[in-house]
Chain A
Amino acid sequence: MAAQAMSLHSMRRKAVNVVMLSLTGLCTFLATGTLLFILGYLFIHGARSLTWDFFTKLPTPVGETGGGMANAILGSAKLLLLATAIGVPIGFLGGVYLAEFGGNTYAFIIRYVADLLNGVPSIVIGIFAYILIVLPQKHFSTLAGGLALGVMMIPIAIRSSEEFLRSVPLALREGAMALGASKSKSILTVVIPAAKSGIITGIMLNLARVAGETAPLLFTSSNNRFWSPGYEQPTAALPVMIYTYATAPYEDWHQQAWSAGFVLLTLVLAVNIVARFILSRQAHVPR
């Protein structure tokens, strides 16, 4: 009797084991499957409606078919250039401070604040850029959009630079010092070159992240149907165009939105795949 109860009990435990483990497999399948399905849908749908005009022509007025988003592609590139000019120097030098000179309470505060800024919703960063630039100038501009994206880049740039600089072996620094190099000289000629590929990869990933940001651009760089020369005028950008075109009530605009989504996603994913490939290869290099 007791033995029977025991075996029943253990059978129940084994059944629970099998059921629950299969359920976790099902979770994995559902999570990855759903996501892959919708992305596959985007790729098929977007690639189908993509034409060469998309890359070379301006958007057409409502009712006229055809046209492209050449101005939005250039606009996105300009915004990213500005963002890099703002975010990367601050982030990189800040990372050098944390990795080489930090190690005290102040470094802790900076890391904490960087994490804090990283968690701020992108739309709030947009409000910040709006208050700083759009409000006093009284017009939207590429500059304001670039500032918003640049601020978003800083926290990740600072943490990834720090991480890659830290991963440079201490022996390299000591070797440089033993040869009589000053600390700054050893950082500049030994440590930074050793961490170079990692830092650049980190910047690429960072750029890929802000390239898809829409919310902070809505009321900083706004949108523009035409080319936007210089940095003082509102500009079109791919993510904002996707939003505007997808929510508009015109069928041919939806097609354009799919194309734009396809182009944006291809760029973002390509950068991510290449960057992760470089990083994983780097991790296998014996140190």
Chain B
Amino acid sequence: MSATTSTASPARPSGRAQTFQQRLRAGDDLAYLLTLLAASTIVLITGMLVLKLYQNSAVSRHEFGWKFLTTTTWDPVAGQFGALPFIYGTVVTSALALLIAIPLGVGAAIFLAELAPPRISSGLTFLIELLAAVPSVIFGMLGFFIMVPALQKLEDPLRAAFGWSPLFKGPFYGVSMLSAGVVLSLMIIPFIISISREVILAVPNDQREAALALGATRWESTWDIVVPFAYKGITGSIFLALARSLGETMAVTMVVGNSPKISTSLFAPGYSIAAVIANEFTEATGDLYLSSLIELGLVLFALTIVINGAARILVAGTSQKGGS
């Protein structure tokens, strides 16, 4: 029977009778398999990334356990590695960056989305998005050569205004957690502006019209109606910016001062997880030293994954709400 079918239509075997090879030659399955393979590579790479970081930090994990995260001594000579000063520096500089960037970024996003004429708004947004493309090493260089001297000039006014608080005590050499926070804030402002602007623009117009029709001023309609509506998306943009500033390496390395001490003063030099990896990785001698640095990488990875995940859930939530 199979002989008759194959002689009847040798060129085009019908439906079921196609063998896997024939379908492969027709291209559809080949294309499917090829693209599936490529798409699966990304899962493979990410899995390998986690696995390799985990495996290669084994020495340090076995030596220190969870104490790695809570001890403050970082002494390569004595073989003592505690990550707390770096975690502290990372969190403080990022928090400071957010403190500066949130009001400026959200304020500018409100202006661009609600007030500015469309032409000006899209022009400025274009500029701001270009600024998001500036490489971080350039921000680092500008921070190092311009921002640090400028902050040193601001030292006296800052001391006069905030000198009573422990945040502005001690000597100030320019490179400090304060400088790192300011440079980071400049780097993340474009992210906050462009995403927040988009989620504010996605708020349905009838929300604004209803508020204005009830006699609200422009500001009241914006602040009491539009911003709460876009709240989730704005928070999401802030989380994305936070994730970026936590993992930012070059700009921080160049201005933070690179000193593994915990100090309450923002004038004091500090250190961040990414900066210590950048500075010490090539000179790490010995398995324990290298594995401690890789464990720091693992900590940074975990930190940004959690924050990024939260951000994406928040942003997705708003765009769905705005779209409906």
Contact = CB atoms under 8 A, between A and B. Distances in A.
Partners in one complex: yes
Interface of A: 13-14, 16-17, 20-21, 23-28, 30-32, 34-36, 38-39, 41-42, 89-94, 96-98, 100-102, 107, 109-110, 113-117, 119-125, 127-128, 130-132, 135, 151, 154-155, 158, 182-185, 187-188, 208-209, 211-215, 218-219, 222, 239, 242-243, 246-247, 254, 257-258, 261, 264-265, 268-269, 272-273, 276
B99 interface: no
Contacts, number: 261
A180 B144 CA distance: 63
Given A119-B243, A214-B135, A268-B133, A38 B217 contact: no
Interface string B245-273: 01111100110000000000000000000
A115 B219 CA distance: 36
Interface string B37-64: 1111111011011001100100000000
A272 to B, nearest CB: 5
Chain A contact residues: over half helix, strand or loop, or mixed? helix
A80 B243 CA distance: 25
Interface string B184-217: 0010011001000000000000000000000001
A166 B305 CA distance: 27
Interface of B: 26-28, 30-32, 34-43, 45-46, 48-49, 52-53, 56, 103-108, 110-112, 114-116, 124, 126-131, 133-138, 140-142, 144-147, 186, 189-190, 193, 217-220, 223, 243, 246-250, 253-254, 274, 277-278, 281-282, 293-294, 297, 300-301, 304-305, 308-309, 312
A36 B189 CA distance: 13
Contacts of B193: 31
Contacts of A121: 246-249, 274, 300-301, 304
A182 B133 contact: no
A95 to B, nearest CB: 8
B49 A35 contact: no
B135 A154 contact: no
B246 A21 contact: no
B31 A184 contact: yes
Given A127-B294, A128-B49, A94 B41 contact: yes
A237 to B, nearest CB: 10
A100 B142 CA distance: 45
Contacts of A116: 46, 305, 308-309
B43 A109 contact: yes
Nearest to B120: A28
A13 B215 CA distance: 11
Given A124-B53, A212-B136, A265-B135, A243 B250 contact: yes
Interface centre among B40, B133, B312 (most CB of A within 10 A): B133
Interface centre among A89, A94, A151, A182 (most CB of B within 10 A): A94
A102 B156 CA distance: 60
Given A90-B41, A101-B32, A124-B300, A268 B250 contact: no
A38 B111 contact: no
23 contacts: A17-B218, A23-B107, A24-B114, A27-B110, A28-B107, A30-B104, A32-B124, A41-B142, A94-B41, A110-B39, A121-B247, A123-B247, A127-B294, A131-B52, A182-B27, A184-B28, A184-B30, A188-B31, A219-B281, A243-B250, A246-B254, A261-B138, A272-B133
Contacts of B300: 121, 123-124
A119 to B, nearest CB: 4
A113 B136 contact: no
A123 B137 CA distance: 13
B32 A243 contact: no
Contacts of A182: 26-28
A54 B300 CA distance: 37
Given A94-B35, A212-B137, A214-B137, A124 B247 contact: yes
Nearest to A241: B137
Contacts of B40: 110
A28 B108 contact: yes
Given A94-B41, A265-B135, A25 B28 contact: no
B323 to A, nearest CB: 16
B38 A90 contact: yes
Given A31-B108, A276-B126, 15 more contacts: A13-B217, A16-B217, A31-B193, A38-B147, A93-B34, A124-B53, A184-B27, A184-B32, A188-B27, A219-B281, A239-B250, A243-B140, A246-B254, A264-B138, A265-B138
A119 B49 CA distance: 13
Interface centre among B42, B127, B128, B142 (most CB of A within 10 A): B42
B45 A117 contact: yes
B103 A27 contact: yes
A224 B154 CA distance: 39
B111 A242 contact: no
A17 B186 contact: no
